[in-house]
Amino acid sequence: MKEYGFVRVGACVPTLEVANVTYNAEEIIKNIKEADTKEVAILVFPELSVTGYTCSDLFFQDVLLKSSKEGIRKIIEETKNLDIISIIGAPISIRNQLFNCAVVIQKGEVLGIVPKTYIPNYNEFYEKRWFATSLDLIDSEIDFLGKSVPIGIDLVFTDKENENMNFGIEICEDLWSIVPPSNDLALNGANLILNLSSSNELIGKYEYRKSLVKGQSSKLISGYVYTSSGVNESTTDVVFSGHAMIAENGQILKESTRFQLDSQIIMDDIDFEKINNLRMKDISYMGVKPTKNTRRILVDMKDSSTLIRSYEKNPFVPQNEAKRNGRCHEIFEIQSCGLAKRLKHIGTEKCVIGISGGLDSTLAFLVIVEAYKKLGIDPKNIQAITMPGFGTTSRTLENAKRLMDVYGVTLAEISIRDASLLHMKDIGHNPDNHDITYENVQARERTQILMDVANKMGGIVIGTGDLSELALGWCTYNGDHMSMYAVNNSIPKTLVKYLVRYVADTNEEVKEVLYDILDTPISPELLPPTKDGKIKQKTEDKIGPYELHDFFLYHFFRYGASPDKLQLLANQTFAGIYSEKEILQWLKVFIQRFFHQQFKRSCLPDGPKVGTVSLSPRGDLRMPSDASCHEWLKKLEK
């Protein structure tokens, strides 16, 4: 999986006996071996995991310190044939000082030692009684177990095969400080931070600790692995829960079950490619230069044969209902405020919109209604127009009329059949030939009607096309592709459904008609219906499932995922829903259409950006209209 940028990391909370190094070393060895069988490349243990964090004045005892060193020797010996990198917490005495350290081992070697910088000495913490800070460290290398080993907070561990895979280490309180060591480590290339911690539990501390890990991984645009001591530490005054987390760029990927007596290992795959892509796009990231230089330690990050990381099928849509409803509310606010500002600036109260009875025009209409509420404009100033053509079904036409009636807007019905037939006659096109010309004649006729009515009224045409259609170029150039303000331009098709459903669930008056619109197949209705009057032309039969295309778009555009990586992620995410052959087929369609249809996106009308993915030529996507997709399609050749 390293070829796709994935490295498997783990956080372990081992069972422990305070000051019993022999027992603790055996448990650490056992967990390292277990993690190795699960293809974990990097495994992190809690702070002072060899001795236990709560040894207090026992840290002054030579017996404990010598036992700790022998415990590390035993761990190294017992794991020397394993490829896994292990990071273990231990007290290390150097030049009359004792340091709280992270010891990095692999294949029988100590690769480096990182001491703690910020030593807590408040409330229940009393660490300065025993430990010195890294700031007092004199040496950059020490003799440890008979070998010279680099030591310091300036160590960045870099994969020998891929210089873009790097990790750095900080310890517990370091994260809580105003300027954590991980800031400098990240600026020096560390895109994964490992934290060995001993954080006791207090009411509310769990949420705060979690927010720190999420926030630091987001601020640093990095992976972050955090693991803290468990309930087997001393409970003389405090209790530890064994809180472990794996985060990436502000998202918690995995989290331990707290307050467990037995050992736990959590693991997931960190996406280094994604992290590096995000950092490269963020030009401000390196706006602050590192305050310290770093030393590179080369390591072998082992590869894994499988991907255990899971992905949401609908990445644009929150799975949690409460969060999803909150997101829908915020999106409506952005869309409607954008339109309200535009209407105020122009000085008009007139909006013109084509209503088809489909999802996109329904959402755009609901946005207009919300904007009018904000401005205190009578909805009768909304000029809705239904324009039945050769493919219009009675179901969609009646739904459009019912929806307009509920909101009390001005509705007109203008058939495009005669005008389209006349135009086809003028250009010499046989109306029995249901080709792309037959379809686009209708689409452009509808747009002409909307534009002319808007001119007559002194209003503006509101666009209805969505982000997914723009990504695929599934719109008629200078037809439904064009408007005077496009409120749906950054809303993907999979999210459109939830936005409409959100309104349906919160408004009894329109619930029935909106749910029928939600159940209607997606179609431009440009081809004649079936003999029984049902929709014959279904968009997804032609270009593929929108849920696949939205998945491709999200990972391709947001994180720069290569086509073969997209294929890998989709095969895993949609297993049992689409075959690998189908996924490959529609992925090729996505790539080809994304490149070939850029010319339609180069002249998009104004519209509000809502999410992290937008294809506006003035904002997020500067792309030549004649770029070749050859190199991208090559990645899918087997």
Percentage above 90 pLDDT, the chain: 94
Find where tokens 């300065």 sit: 128
Window from 290-294, 370-374, 425-429 with minimum mean pLDDT: 290-294
Is pLDDT above 90 for 530?
no
* DSSP run (H or E) holding 31: helix 21-37
Q: Read out DSSP for 460-478?
A: EEEE---HHHHHHT-S-TT
Exposed (0-12), middle (13-18) or buried (19+): which is 63, by Cβ within 10 Å? exposed
- Cα–Cα dist 79/33, whole Å: 7
Least trusted range by pLDDT, from 112-121, 230-239, 317-326, 525-534: 525-534
**What confidence score (pLDDT) does residue 536 get?**
65
Q: Which two tokens stand for residue 552?
A: 């491709």
DSSP 287-303: GS--SS--EEEEE-PPP
Average pLDDT over residues 291-304: 95
202 pLDDT higher than 90: yes
Instruction: Please say if the pLDDT value at position 147 is more than 90.
Output: yes
pLDDT at 349: 97
CA 564 vs CA 161, 463, 584, 620: distances in Å = 20, 35, 9, 24
**Four-residue CA torsion sign, 98, 103, 107, 109:** negative
* 3-state DSSP assignment of residue 226: strand
What pLDDT shows up at residue 4?
97
Instruction: Write down the catalytic residue from 172, 328, 351, 475.
Output: 172
Please enumerate in sequence order all residues whose Cβ is within 8 A of that of 306, keeping only pairs 6 or more positions apart, or say none.
Answer: 1, 39
Question: Which tens digit of pLDDT belongs to each residue from 627-636?
Answer: 999 999 999 9
User: What is the three-class DSSP state of 384?
Assistant: strand
Q: How far are the Cα atoms of 53, 77, 200, 227 from residue 245, in angstroms, in the given order?
A: 19, 28, 15, 6
The CA-CA-CA angle for residues 418, 424, 427, to 5°, reads 140
Domains of the chain and CATH, by start: 2-299 (3.60.110.10), 321-634 (3.40.50.620)
- pLDDT higher than 90, residue 292: no
pLDDT at 72: 98
Owner of token pair 């005077």:
484
Length of the chain: 638
User: Distance (Å, rounded) from C-alpha 146 to C-alpha 108?
Assistant: 13
Stretch 252-273: mean pLDDT, rounded? 97
SS (H, E, C) 167-219: EEEEECHHHHCCCCHHHHHHHCCCCEEEEEECCECCCCHHHHHHHHHHHHHHH
pLDDT for 532 equals 75
Residue 539 pLDDT > 90, yes or no? no
| Single-letter residue type at 592 | Q
Residue 149 reports pLDDT greater than 90: yes
What's the rounded Cα separation, in Å, for the pair 339 and 32?
Answer: 57
Catalytic residue among 116, 214, 493, 565: 116
pLDDT of residue 106 exceeding 70? yes
The reported pLDDT for the residue numbered 531 is 74
pLDDT over threshold 70, residue 375: yes
User: CB count, 10 Å around CB of 323?
Assistant: 11
Mean pLDDT of 269-273: 98
What pLDDT sits at residue 285?
93
The confidence score (pLDDT) of residue 291 equals 87
Starting at the edge strand found earlier in the chain, the sheet holding 295-299 runs 251-255, 244-248, 223-228, 192-197, 166-171, 155-159, 295-299
Question: Does position 369 have pLDDT exceeding 70, yes or no?
Answer: yes
172 is catalytic: yes
Helices 21-37 and 62-78 pack at an angle, to 10 degrees, of 20
- Average pLDDT score over residue span 610-616: 95
Q: Residue range 66-87: average pLDDT?
A: 98
pLDDT at 334: 98
pLDDT for 526 beyond 90: no
Q: Mean pLDDT in the chain?
A: 96
| Strand blocks (E) in 387-455 | 410-413
SS (H, E, C) 81-135: CCCCEEEEEEEEEECCEEEEEEEEEECCEEEEEEECCCCCCCCCCCHHHCCECHH
Model pTM score: 0.93
Residue 525's SS3 state is coil
Identify the active-site residue in 27, 39, 47, 173: 47
The continuous run of DSSP H or E covering 269 comes out as strand 264-271
Q: In this model, does residue 271 exceed pLDDT 70?
A: yes
Burial class (CB in 10 A: 0-12, 13-18, 19+), 564: middle
The dihedrals phi and psi of 218, each to the nearest 5 degrees, come to -75, -45
Residue 534: pLDDT band with limits 50, 70, 90: confident
Question: In angstroms, rounded to a whole number, what is the distance separating the alpha carbons of residues 258 and 184?
Answer: 31
Model confidence at 563, pLDDT cuts 50, 70, 90, reads: very high
Percent of the chain at pLDDT > 70 equals: 99
Mean pLDDT for 462-468 is 97
Residue 266 has a pLDDT of 98
Span 611-618, average pLDDT: 94
pLDDT-based confidence at 523, cuts 50/70/90? confident
